[in-house]
């Protein structure tokens, strides 16, 4: 009996001490994806590092990640393992040369840049500096609107952000397109709000003025992304080109699930006309 | 219903400015923001355009209406039928009706 109790205590101690070091992000086998972003950006010079939902830079043939935080080269495979026509075809389909090195095609590079832009945009939305490395869950490092809010609000906002990420993944969406719950969302103009179920344009930002700069209207109605989602609706980041060719990074597609609207009454746009999107 | 692909700028609920090719001709649909009404116009002005090259379409589009060959007419924004994404194509019916009305068909 004493031995059983001793073994049980050892097992509990093992789990308490070692589990946090081993589990860096949870993996949802149904989704086939990590449902939490990697808490560390290991290599700022590598665009693939900014995709914190990927495993070993999406190149498991070349790398391993025993710690969950740092991609490390796998042990060199004998050259003979890459021999043969079938293996050559596999290599080419995966853009790997005979030395096991990853070949970056123009198309892949363009994809990397798109992913980097998305991830950087996502970090900026959370008030984080894309050029810095953050230790710890990004959701808990959200600054800007929520940083000034009481702690209870922060917890609620964090819960919404986590829900958003999970929901986005379940829907097969890019998590970078999900607007954090505490962020302001505005609709330009004085016209009645579009009917529930209709997807319409809006603008998002960490603050109402930041969001209001993304519409040309002198009148706005505002709410938060969290309020739209609590109602069952959605707010999805969808940057669009303006007439000048510049990209309006704050454009969002909004769908309200029911009426009455969660957008407030019309109010003057606090942003001068010259500073709004053209 | 036939659809023709579009290239667009200035998306707000729908594309507010887009280029579409129909029967070998290029048309520009323009729904500018009306400062006085503080809202986008309820109509698209439809222009027949000269052939446009890549530089015209990758640069600033604000000058495109000044390059038009002629103004064909105006159509209600709600009369233009877009594909489900509202970003890829429009029904060509509206162009046909507009050309018939203007006697250009």
A239 CB within 8 Å of a chain B CB = no
Structural domain includes residue A260: yes
- The rounded average pLDDT for each run of 10 residues, N- to C-terminus, in chain A (278 residues) is 66 53 49 54 54 59 62 55 54 55 50 50 55 42 36 47 51 70 94 95 96 97 94 93 94 94 96 92
Say if the Cβ atoms of B12 and A191 lie within 8 Å. Answer: no
State how far residue B22 is from chain A, nearest Cα, in angstroms.
22
Structural domain includes residue A14: no
Answer yes or no: do A34 and A103 share one domain: yes
Residue A181: per-residue pLDDT: 87
A240 CB within 8 Å of a chain B CB = yes
Q: How many independent structural domains does chain A possess?
A: 2
A52 CB within 8 Å of a chain B CB = no
Cβ partners under 8 Å of residue A123, min gap 6: A129, A130, A138
Residue A117: per-residue pLDDT: 45
Say if the Cβ atoms of B39 and A190 lie within 8 Å. Answer: yes
With CA atoms as reference, report the closest residue to A263 among A180, A156, A188, A173.
A188
Q: What is the distance in angstroms between the CA of the first residue and the CA of the last residue of chain A?
A: 77
Pick the last residue of a domain from A147, A173, A193.
A147
pTM, entire model: 0.58
| ipTM given for this complex | 0.92
Pick the last residue of a domain from A147, A166, A201.
A147
Structural domain includes residue A167: no
Query: Residue B103 — very low, low, confident or very high, per pLDDT cuts 50/70/90?
Result: confident
Structural domain includes residue A11: no
Residue A93: per-residue pLDDT: 57
Reduced to 3 states (helix: H, G, I; strand: E, B; else coil), residue B19 is strand
B53 CB within 8 Å of a chain A CB = no
Cβ partners under 8 Å of residue A6, min gap 6: none
Res. B30: pLDDT tops 80: yes
pLDDT tens digit sequence for B55-94:
889 889 999 999 999 999 999 999 999 999 999 999 999 9
Answer yes or no: do A215 and A139 share one domain: no
Range of the domain at A241: 183-275
Percent of chain B clearing pLDDT 90 (strictly above): 85
Answer yes or no: do A141 and A187 share one domain: no
A241 CB within 8 Å of a chain B CB = yes
Res. B29: pLDDT tops 90: yes
Answer yes or no: do A30 and A110 share one domain: yes
Complete DSSP assignment for A144-198: TTGGGS-HHHHHHHHHHHHHHHHHHHHTT--GGGBPPTTSEEEEESSSPPPPTT-
Residue A18: per-residue pLDDT: 46
Say if the Cβ atoms of A251 and B59 lie within 8 Å. Answer: no
């Amino acid at each position: 009996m004493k031995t059983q109790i001793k073994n049980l205590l050892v097992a509990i101690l093992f789990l308490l001490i070692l589990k946090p070091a081993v589990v860096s992000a949870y993996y949802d086998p149904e989704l086939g994806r990590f449902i939490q972003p990697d808490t560390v950006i290991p290599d700022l010079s590598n665009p693939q590092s900014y995709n914190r939902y990927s495993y070993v830079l999406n190149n498991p043939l070349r790398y391993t990640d025993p710690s969950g935080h740092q991609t490390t080269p796998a042990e060199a495979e004998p050259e003979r393992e890459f021999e043969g026509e079938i293996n050559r075809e596999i290599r080419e389909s995966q853009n790997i040369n005979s030395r096991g090195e990853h070949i970056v095609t123009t198309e892949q590079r363009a994809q990397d840049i798109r992913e980097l832009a998305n991830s950087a945009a996502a970090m900026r939305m959370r008030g984080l500096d894309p050029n810095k490395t953050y230790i710890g869950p990004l959701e808990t490092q959200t600054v800007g609107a929520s940083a000034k809010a009481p702690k209870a609000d922060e917890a609620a906002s964090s819960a919404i952000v986590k829900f958003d990420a999970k929901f986005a993944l379940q829907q097969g969406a890019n998590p970078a397109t999900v607007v954090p719950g505490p962020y302001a969302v505005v609709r330009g103009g004085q016209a009645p709000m579009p009917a529930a179920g209709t997807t319409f344009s809006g603008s998002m930002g960490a603050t109402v003025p930041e969001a209001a700069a993304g519409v040309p209207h002198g009148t706005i109605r505002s709410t938060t992304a969290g309020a739209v989602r609590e109602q069952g609706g959605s707010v999805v980041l969808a940057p669009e080109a303006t007439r000048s060719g510049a990209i309006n990074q704050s454009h969002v597609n909004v769908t309200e699930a029911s009426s009455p609207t969660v957008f407030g009454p019309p109010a003057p746009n606090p942003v001068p006309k010259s500073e709004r999107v053209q | 219903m036939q659809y023709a692909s579009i290239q667009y700028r200035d998306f707000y609920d729908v594309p507010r400015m887009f280029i579409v090719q129909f029967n070998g001709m290029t048309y520009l649909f323009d729904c500018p923001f009306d400062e006085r009404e503080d809202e986008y116009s309820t109509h698209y002005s439809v222009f027949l355009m000269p052939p446009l090259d890549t530089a015209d379409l990758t640069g600033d589009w604000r000058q495109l209406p000044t390059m038009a060959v002629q103004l064909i007419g105006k159509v209600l924004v709600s009369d233009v039928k877009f594909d489900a994404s509202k970003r890829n194509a429009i029904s060509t019916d509206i162009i046909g009706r507009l050309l018939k009305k203007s006697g250009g068909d």
